[in-house]
Amino acid sequence: MLAVSALLNNVALLMFLRYTFCSQAVNDANRNLKSYLAVLAVDYVIIVLPTLLIFTVLADWRYECTVGLVLLLLFSTVLKRAYCWPYTEGPHAVRASISSYRVVTMVVAFLCILAVDFRIYPREFAKTETYGTSLMDLGVGSFVLMNAVTSRQARNISSSMSRWKAAFRSTTPLLLLGFARLVTTLSLDYQVHVGEYGVNWNFFFTLAGVSIATSILNVPAKYSGILGSVILVGYWGMYLIGVQVSYYLFFENRPGKQRSKHETRIRICLLSIVFWILTLLIDRHVERISRRMCNLAYVIWVVALNLQVLAMRFLTDNLFGSKVLALERAIDRHLLASFLVANLLTGLVNLSVDTIFVSSSSAILILVWYSWTLCVVMVLLDFSGVKYKFW
C-alpha cells in the first residue's frame, strides 16, 4: 500500500512541477495547433516521460524519487514565486483541482495497461490474483470512483426524464464497446487473463452495469454511501459511496453548486485520513483487500487513495491556482475516449511485437512511442473541437 501511495504521489508531484513552469491556463482563444503541440511536448517531457521511467527502470527508486520531486518542487516554487494569494474561489477553481486528480488517474492507467506486458515492468505492480494490493489494482476502481465524483447524482441534479436519457446515452456506447472488445478478442485469439474479469466480461461491461443499476434505483446522494456500504454489489456499491463522498465534499446543501475551497480542503484531508485508518483496520482485522471480489477493504482502500490525490491538489492550490495544462485539458474532456485509444494502441503493439521477449531499451522506446502517440491523438481531438464524452 505504501508503494502504490508513493507512485501516485510521484505522478501528482510531476504535474505540480509542470504548473510552476506554466504561465497561464490553456484556453480556446489565442492558440494554434503548432503552439498547442509545443505546449503538449513540454507537458509530456515533464509529466508523462518521468512517470513512465518511475514505473519501469526507476521503480526501485520510487521513494527517493518522491523526496527528490518534493525538494525540486519547493525549489522551483520559491524560484518562480508562483504563489497566488488569495487562492482562487468558485466553481472553476474546484473544477481545476478535480481535473488534475482525474488526469493523474488516467496517466497511471494508460501507461500501465501496456507497460505490464513487458518484462521491464515490475511484477509487484501487476494486478493481484485474489488478495493484496498493487498499482494496477486501482484501475477500474479509480475509474468508477472518479466518475462518481462528478456525476449528476453527486451534484443532486435529477429528473426522471433527464436521468433515463443520460443513462441511455452513457450505457449504449459502453455496451457497444464491451461487445466490440469481446468479439475482437475472440476473433483474433487475443490473450485475455480470465482471472481479471472472467472469460467474457470486461471493463466496459462493468461501467455499463454500474450505469444501469444507478438508473434503475435513484438513490439520494446523501444516503447513497450508506446503501453502497451495505450492499457492496460489485462496483455499484463503490460508485454509490463515491457519490456520497463527492456530495459531502462539494455539493451538500447547495444543489448544483460547489462549497468554498477552504472548507473543501479541510474536509478532503480529514476524510482521507479517516479512510486510510479504516483501510488499515479492515485489511488487518476483517478481511484482506481483494480487487477480484471488490470487497469492503478494497473499496475503502481505493477511496482513500483517490482522496489522497485530491487532498494533495487542494493543499497546493495557493501555489498554482486554477491553471489547466494542454494535456490535462485534452484528457479530462475525453476520459473514456483516451482509455479507448490506449486500448487500441495496446492491442496494436501486442499484435505486432512479442512483448515478453523485448529488451529493456526497446521496451522503453515502444512505450515512449505509445504514450506520445496517445497524447497527440487526444490533443488533436480536443483542438478539433470533437466531443466524445458520454460518461
Give the span between the Cα atoms of 205 and 176, in whole angstroms: 9
| Cell (9 digits) for 344 | 487500441
Answer for the pair 29, 348: CB distance below 8 angstroms, yes or no. no
Lowest-pLDDT range, 285-289, 369-373, 384-388? 384-388
Closest CA to 110 of 327, 380, 383, 354: 327
pLDDT in tens, 121-160: 999 998 888 899 999 999 888 888 888 888 877 777 665 5
Tally of CA atoms within 13 A in the half-sphere of 299 that contains its CB: 21
Which segment of 85-99, 203-217, 261-275 scores lowest on mean pLDDT? 85-99
| Residue of 274, 227, 278 lying closest to 249 (CA atoms) | 274
Q: Looking up cell 512479442, which residue turns up?
A: 354
Query: How many C-beta neighbours within 10 Å does residue 318 have?
Result: 16
Percent above pLDDT 90 for the chain: 32
Q: What is the pLDDT of residues 181-226, one digit of tens each?
A: 788 777 777 667 676 677 788 878 888 888 888 777 777 777 788 8
Quick: pLDDT tens for 216-264: 777 777 778 888 877 776 888 888 888 888 888 887 765 555 566 778 8
Q: Is the pLDDT of residue 24 over 60?
A: no
Residue (of 269, 277, 322) closest to 97 by Cα position: 322
pLDDT digits (tens, 9 = 90+) for 317-363: 766 666 678 888 888 888 888 888 998 899 899 888 888 889 999 99
Q: What is the pLDDT of residues 103-117, one digit of tens each?
A: 999 999 999 999 999
* CA-angle at 111, arms to 137 and 289, nearest 5°: 10
Question: What sign for the dihedral angle of Cα 328, 73, 13, 313?
Answer: negative
Listed residue (17, 16, 11, 74) closest to 48, CA to CA: 11
Q: How confident is the model at residue 71 (pLDDT cuts 50, 70, 90)?
A: very high
State the amino acid at position 370 in one-letter form.
Answer: Y
**Close Cβ partners of 390 (under 8 Å, ≥ 6 residues apart):** 169, 170, 173, 336
Would you say residue 1 has pLDDT above 60? yes
At 85 the pLDDT is 40
183 by Cβ neighbours in 10 Å (0-12 / 13-18 / 19+) ranks as exposed
* Mean pLDDT, the chain, whole residue set: 82
Q: Would you tell me how many other CB atoms lie within 10 Å of the CB of residue 231?
A: 12
What is the per-residue pLDDT for 201? 83
Task: Give the mean pLDDT of 87-111.
Answer: 78
pLDDT band at 173 (very low <50, low <70, confident <90, very high): confident
pLDDT at 308 over 90: yes
DSSP type of residue 45: I
pLDDT at 83: 46
Residue 168 CB-half CA count within 13 A: 6
Residue 333's closest CA among 28, 123, 45? Answer: 28
Is residue 242 within 8 A of residue 251, CB to CB? The reply is no
Give how far Cα 370 sits from Cα of 49, 97, 346, Å. Answer: 11, 27, 8
pLDDT at residue 84 is higher than 50: no
| pTM, rounded to two decimals | 0.84
